[in-house]
Chains A and B, each alone.
Chain A
Amino acid sequence: MTDKQDFVDIRHAQKSYGNLEVLKDISLKVKRGQIVAIIGPSGSGKSTLLRAINDLDPLTKGEIWLDGVQVNKKLPHRQYEKHINEMRQQIGMVFQHFNLFPHMTARDNVAMAPKMLKGLSKEEADKLAEEQLDKVGMLERIDYYPSQLSGGQKQRVAIARALAMHPKLMLFDEATSALDPELVDEVNQVMKKLAEEDMTMIIVTHEMDFAASVCDRVLFMDQGVVVEEGPPEVLFKNPTKARTREFLGKHLGANK
């Protein structure tokens, strides 16, 4: 059932807020271990698409599939809640503003969900938190509260929190956009490490250099449609659409 071709399969995703059509029939397939970047101007629907994948913002029409299972399948309310909670455990998400739990230490931020949902004992959950925080280079700060951490450190803890559920897919929504420039690299390094471990990732980003260096494929979105997609070396060097060229012209220029 697990067709390698469509580990993540978004079919005709359509989303409206009232009269505003935010996603217009988007389809996207991602293979296991692939890394896809989504770029595009603000308001083009990147976050909405990402948040539809774990059903934080449910689609108006269309299907989301992960590893042969439909994420947003139609079920009676009760059953759907159970189903979606199970699916979300398999989909890690990292937010622009971290959304760490401020009343928990880094350790508890990471350990809480595995303890509650996977029935780990306190010792097992602690060990898991140590492993995951070590992986993102935050072991020394394991007993710190978020208020005692820098933005980059918070984001690394947030990544560890997502990884602790052993997700099949990681979603990043502008994970470095809220960071001071000097803190961006430490988070990018963690994401690169995940890439080397063949984590399947969908990354919304404004950092073209980073996208070019880690991604297998780049999508350029504008006004709710995928305008153009391709391998980074093609999309960044030889975009075919005028809109893509215009966007890249502004962005690559602004970065320099």
Chain B
Amino acid sequence: MGLDFSIIPKHLDIILLGCAWTIGITVVAAIISFFGGIVFAVIALYAPWIIRQPFRLVAWVFMGTPLLLQLFLIYFGLVQIGVDLPAFVAGVIGLGLHFAVYNSELIQTAILSVDKGQMEAARTVGLSRGQALRKVVIPQAVRAVIPPIGNNMIALLKDSALVSVIGVSELTLSAQRVIGKTYRPFEFYILAAAFYYVINLCMEWVQRKIERRISLSR
């Protein structure tokens, strides 16, 4: 049986809905991973030992184990201790925290490479250490790592397909469902791939806009 792309329009609504879910998951998880990354970086660098050490362990688990396992744990495992999250919420939290740990590594390095004179100048006008970090050091550190954080966000988009395993009908799962009905894997996987590619391009465009916006303030 040959390829027949004319079958696509009939099932496009399901694919588009899946696309919307993928975009939703990616955007929310990206926001969690960005702010989570900042918070994790500050904890890893500045929190008292008693908080820092257990936190390091958690971060290590997030980096050293498969994301798939983490999603299972959050969705199926937490139920056992009475935390019953909807699949979308569990997926977004899992993805968000997973990439927050990666972003945190970038931001930690960036915080440590902000010129010492910046902290000194901020302390000199009377800011506390915390205020200086918040207003002066962290904003500069984050600006410095926007490009690699952007790369992480692209990886996040691709890994959002994993959320299908806990039953969120995002793009990949939607394609699979349509294929289940039509037996047309090639057409619909290609279509899904094309949508991922378009979302990818949009994210790169946003990243370039952000980089251009902050180019003067670096």
- Give A residues with C-beta under 8 Å from B: 54, 56, 81, 85-86, 88-89, 91-93, 95, 97, 99-104, 112-113, 116-117, 145, 147-148, 158, 161-162, 165
Q: How far is the CB of A146 from chain B (nearest CB, A)?
A: 9
Report yes or no: A161 in contact with B126, Cβ–Cβ below 8 A: no
Q: What is the 8 Å Cβ interface bit string for chain B, positions 120-164, against chain A (1 contact, 0 not)? A: 111111111101000110011001000000000000000000000
Extra pairs beyond A101-B136, A147-B218 (11, CB < 8 Å): A85-B126, A85-B128, A88-B123, A88-B126, A92-B124, A95-B121, A99-B117, A100-B121, A103-B214, A113-B126, A116-B131
Q: How far is the CB of A118 from chain B (nearest CB, A)?
A: 9
Q: A116-B135, A147-B216, A147-B217 are in contact. Are A101 and B121 (CB under 8 A)?
A: yes
Give the residue name and chain of the A residue nearest to B124 (CB).
Answer: A93
Report yes or no: B139 in contact with A56, Cβ–Cβ below 8 A: no
Contact of B120 among A56, A100, A103, A116 (CB under 8 A): A56
Give the residue name and chain of the B residue nearest to A118 (CB).
Answer: B126
Q: B118 interface residue, CB < 8 Å from A?
A: yes
Q: How far is the CA of A158 from the CA of B128 in the complex (A)?
A: 19
Contact of A112 among B120, B135, B214 (CB under 8 A): B135
Q: A99-B117, A101-B118, A102-B217 are in contact. Are A88 and B140 (CB under 8 A)?
A: no
Count residues of chain B with CB under 8 A from any CB of chain A. Answer: 23
Report yes or no: B127 in contact with A85, Cβ–Cβ below 8 A: yes
Give the residue name and chain of the A residue nearest to B128 (CB).
Answer: A85
Q: How far is the CA of A158 from the CA of B122 in the complex (A)?
A: 11
Q: How far is the CA of A54 from the CA of B117 in the complex (A)?
A: 15
Q: A116-B135, A145-B217 are in contact. Are A88 and B117 (CB under 8 A)?
A: no
Most chain B Cβ neighbours within 10 Å, of A91, A95, A116, A145: A116
Report yes or no: B217 in contact with A88, Cβ–Cβ below 8 A: no
Most chain A Cβ neighbours within 10 Å, of B121, B129, B139, B216: B121
Report yes or no: B217 in contact with A162, Cβ–Cβ below 8 A: no
25 pairs from A and B in contact (CB 8 Å cutoff): A56-B123, A56-B124, A81-B128, A89-B125, A89-B126, A99-B117, A101-B121, A101-B140, A102-B140, A102-B217, A103-B139, A103-B217, A104-B217, A113-B127, A116-B127, A116-B131, A116-B135, A117-B125, A145-B216, A145-B217, A148-B216, A158-B121, A162-B124, A162-B125, A165-B125
In B174-218, the 8 Å CB interface with A consists of 214, 216-218
Give the residue name and chain of the A residue nearest to B131 (CB).
Answer: A116
Q: How far is the CA of A113 from the CA of B118 in the complex (A)?
A: 14
Report yes or no: B125 in contact with A95, Cβ–Cβ below 8 A: no
CB-CB under 8 A from B136, the residues of chain A are: 101
Q: How far is the CA of A158 from the CA of B118 in the complex (A)?
A: 12
Give the residue name and chain of the A residue nearest to B217 (CB).
Answer: A103
CB-CB under 8 A from B214, the residues of chain A are: 103
CB-CB under 8 A from B124, the residues of chain A are: 54, 56, 88, 91-93, 162
Contact of B127 among A92, A100, A102, A117 (CB under 8 A): A117
CB-CB under 8 A from A113, the residues of chain B are: 125-127
Q: How far is the CA of A162 from the CA of B123 in the complex (A)?
A: 11
CB-CB under 8 A from A147, the residues of chain B are: 216-218
Q: How far is the CB of B47 from chain A (nearest CB, A)?
A: 17
Q: How far is the CA of A81 from the CA of B128 in the complex (A)?
A: 7
Q: How far is the CA of A256 from the CA of B218 in the complex (A)?
A: 38
Give the residue name and chain of the B residue nearest to A146 (CB).
Answer: B217
CB-CB under 8 A from A85, the residues of chain B are: 126-128
Q: Which 3 A-B pairs have the closest CB atoms?
A: A89-B126, A99-B121, A99-B117
CB-CB under 8 A from B135, the residues of chain A are: 112, 116
Q: A116-B127, A147-B217 are in contact. Are A99 and B120 (CB under 8 A)?
A: yes
